[in-house]
């Protein structure tokens, strides 16, 4: 029962693998994948209250990990639902695509439960390798083959980050003589005045910075977002970030004592991510690139919660990343629907969307206003709580800089909304989203508003989850 979600995922992978051996129709594969996705989500719900340790204490099942497994499975299901057509991917590799998708999610689920350096590494690699293959899986009828470029870039940056991480882990082992996270961190916390400990910690964190796209490990974001198919990008932009935040919190929450050096470094990373992301997003023409840069800025905001070193701060970070994933998925839902054959969507392609498909335009507007942090949506509440938490710890300067960033960001979000609502569609055709897509978008809208208006129960739940790992 403790291992149920992972086993279900593994089983799902096997079923898809069998499907890939025979020539299964595209529609069958799709429905099969959605069915399996729902089963996985159901499994995470079933095992929500499990606790225990597995595999010689290398694998910890607690409320914290189970909450994140639920979130990961939920986000994956949403991606499957609105990306069901897989427009950008050749039909004959559908089963393989789903297989790697499930394997990547399996890696992420194992990641949030890992409490030992080696199992963290193995889980992270499992999730990354599957995505390395998913990125170039795109219809290559266009002559540019930029998906290959994206795949190579993602791989190289990923391997570099992993290299850093592995190097940091070797330092950790050298300093403490253990690979168990709790032992490592307890011993490390007495030696924050030695540079080796700080460097080791930062190197390990860099692996997650890479997943979360935090400066200075963000360089892959724009090109990979642009090169990968829309559905893959939706996945990369949401699901791995949940797991990355989970692991960041797991690592940072164990830092006790005098970790001021780490706080300072995190602060610089957060501010640099915000400014870099927001300023670069101002000039983008491809909406996926724009969302990529905005994602870098939002990752900086998440760090703002983590660097408070408080339970409320971690809970706020969880609330914010969940909100971010929902808002982001709402935007990607629209991108996937607008794109006719899986090609990239330029911002100008959204012209007159309100006439071509009112519900898509509305979803996009709400998603972007929420990302911009306008009340009453979840983006505002999350941002507000992060700022309040950081100011409570006395970081006035960083709060002011973050507030300035909010003002910068509004411009590019608003430009997209302007295009969707204020320009004429010209020759662009009407879009009729499928019922499933419309239902998903209504669900996303409802939860974006609901989380923004009554954040209490979500925060309580996140705090309870964080409490179990403190």
Tell the smallest beta-carbon distance from residue 26 to another protein (Å). Answer: 35
Tell the smallest beta-carbon distance from residue 444 to another protein (Å). Answer: 16
For tokens 């309870």, name the residue: 464
Of 162 and 312, nearer to another protein (C-beta) is 312
Residue 92: how many other CB atoms lie within 10 Å: 10
User: Can residue 464 be called a binding residue for another protein (CB under 8 A)?
Assistant: no
Q: Residues in the chain, how many? A: 470
Tell the smallest beta-carbon distance from residue 401 to another protein (Å). Answer: 10
Site for another protein in 339-398 (CB under 8 A): 369, 374-376, 380, 384-385, 387-388, 391-392, 396
Stretch that binds another protein, among 116-124, 160-168, 400-408, 434-442 (CB under 8 A): 400-408
Of 42 and 352, nearer to another protein (C-beta) is 352
Residue of 4, 10, 414, 447 interacting with another protein (CB under 8 A): 414
User: Can residue 275 be called a binding residue for another protein (CB under 8 A)?
Assistant: no
Of 49 and 456, nearer to another protein (C-beta) is 456
262 contacts: CB under 8 Å, gap ≥ 6: 192, 198, 201, 202, 252, 255
User: Can residue 470 be called a binding residue for another protein (CB under 8 A)?
Assistant: no
Strand partners, 60: 53
Of 190 and 454, nearer to another protein (C-beta) is 454
Query: Residues binding another protein: what is the number (CB under 8 A)?
Result: 32
Of 309 and 384, nearer to another protein (C-beta) is 384
Of 371 and 459, nearer to another protein (C-beta) is 459
DSSP 8-class letter at 83: T
Q: Rounded CA gap, 432 and 115, in Å?
A: 46
Gyration radius of the chain's alpha carbons: 21
Tell the smallest beta-carbon distance from residue 71 to another protein (Å). Answer: 20
Of 10 and 414, nearer to another protein (C-beta) is 414
Tell the smallest beta-carbon distance from residue 399 to another protein (Å). Answer: 6
Site for another protein in 419-458 (CB under 8 A): 421-422, 454-456
Of 147 and 278, nearer to another protein (C-beta) is 278
Tell the smallest beta-carbon distance from residue 373 to another protein (Å). Answer: 9
Tell the smallest beta-carbon distance from residue 347 to another protein (Å). Answer: 14
Helices (H), 339-455: 353-356, 358-372, 378-392, 396-422, 435-453
C-beta separation of 367 from 448 below 8 A: yes
Q: Rounded CA gap, 465 and 405, in Å?
A: 30
Residue 341: how many other CB atoms lie within 10 Å: 8
Residue of 50, 179, 415, 467 interacting with another protein (CB under 8 A): 415
C-beta separation of 366 from 422 below 8 A: no
User: Can residue 90 be called a binding residue for another protein (CB under 8 A)?
Assistant: no
Of 8 and 357, nearer to another protein (C-beta) is 357
Residue 38 Cα distances to 12, 34, 42, 407, 437, angstroms:
11, 6, 6, 39, 16
Site for another protein in 13-42 (CB under 8 A): none
C-beta separation of 150 from 133 below 8 A: no
Residue of 18, 46, 400, 446 interacting with another protein (CB under 8 A): 400
Strand partners, 114: 59
Q: Rounded CA gap, 204 and 166, in Å?
A: 7
Token digits of residue 306: 């983590």
Of 254 and 414, nearer to another protein (C-beta) is 414
Residue 128 Cα distances to 103, 105, 111, 159, angstroms:
9, 10, 11, 9
Phi, psi of 53 (to 5 degrees): -125, 145
Closest Cα to residue 226, out of 150, 295, 144?
A: 150
Residue 49: how many other CB atoms lie within 10 Å: 9
Residue of 179, 182, 463, 468 interacting with another protein (CB under 8 A): 463
User: Can residue 310 be called a binding residue for another protein (CB under 8 A)?
Assistant: no
CA geometry: angle at 311 spanning 310 and 315, to 5°?
Answer: 120
Stretch that binds another protein, among 46-54, 101-109, 323-331, 409-417 (CB under 8 A): 409-417
Of 112 and 386, nearer to another protein (C-beta) is 386
Binding residues vs another protein (CB under 8 A): 312, 369, 374-376, 380, 384-385, 387-388, 391-392, 396, 399-400, 403-404, 406-407, 410-411, 414-415, 418, 421-422, 454-456, 459-460, 463
């Amino acid at each position: 029962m403790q291992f149920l979600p992972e086993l279900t995922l593994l089983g799902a992978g096997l079923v898809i693998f069998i499907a890939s051996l025979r020539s299964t129709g595209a529609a069958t594969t799709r429905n099969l994948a959605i069915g399996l996705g729902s089963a996985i989500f159901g499994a995470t719900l079933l095992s929500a209250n499990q606790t225990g340790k597995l595999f010689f204490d290398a694998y910890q099942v607690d409320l914290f990990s189970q909450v994140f497994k639920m979130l990961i499975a939920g986000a994956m299901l949403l991606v499957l639902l609105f990306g069901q057509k897989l427009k950008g991917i050749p039909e004959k590799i559908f089963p393989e695509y789903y297989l790697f998708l499930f394997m990547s999610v399996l890696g992420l689920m194992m990641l949030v439960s890992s409490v030992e350096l080696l199992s963290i590494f193995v889980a992270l690699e499992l999730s990354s390798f599957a995505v390395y293959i998913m990125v170039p899986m795109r219809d290559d009828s266009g002559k540019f083959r930029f998906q290959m470029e994206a795949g190579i870039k993602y791989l190289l940056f990923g391997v570099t980050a992993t290299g850093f991480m592995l190097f940091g882990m070797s330092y950790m082992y050298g300093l403490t003589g253990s690979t168990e996270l709790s032992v490592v961190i307890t011993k490390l916390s007495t030696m924050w005045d030695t540079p080796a400990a700080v460097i080791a910690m930062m190197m390990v964190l860099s692996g997650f910075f890479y997943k979360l796209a935090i400066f200075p490990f963000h360089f892959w974001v724009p090109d990979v977002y642009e090169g990968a198919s829309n559905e893959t990008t939706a996945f990369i932009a949401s699901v791995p970030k949940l797991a990355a935040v989970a692991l960041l919190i797991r690592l940072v929450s164990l830092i006790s004592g005098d970790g001021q050096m780490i706080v300072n470094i995190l602060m610089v990373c957060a501010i640099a991510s915000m400014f870099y992301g927001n300023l670069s997003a101002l000039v983008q023409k491809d909406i996926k690139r724009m969302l990529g840069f905005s994602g870098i800025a939002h990752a900086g905001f998440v760090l703002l919660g983590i660097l408070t070193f408080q339970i409320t701060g971690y809970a706020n970070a969880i609330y914010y990343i969940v909100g971010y994933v929902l808002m982001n998925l709402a935007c990607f839902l629209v991108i996937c629907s607008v794109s006719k054959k899986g090609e990239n969507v330029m911002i100008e392609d959204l012209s007159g969307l309100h006439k071509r498909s009112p519900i898509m335009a509305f979803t996009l507007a709400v998603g972007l206003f929420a990302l911009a942090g306008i009340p009453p949506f979840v983006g505002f509440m999350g941002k507000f709580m992060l700022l309040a938490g950081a100011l409570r710890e006395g970081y006035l300067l960083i709060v002011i800089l973050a507030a300035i960033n909010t003002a910068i960001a509004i411009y590019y979000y608003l430009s997209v909304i302007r295009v969707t609502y204020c320009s004429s569609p010209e020759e662009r055709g009407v879009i009729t989203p499928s019922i499933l897509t419309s239902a998903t978008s209504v669900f996303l809208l409802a939860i974006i508003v609901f989380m923004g208006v009554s954040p209490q129960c979500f925060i309580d739940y996140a705090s309870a989850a964080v409490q179990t790992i403190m």
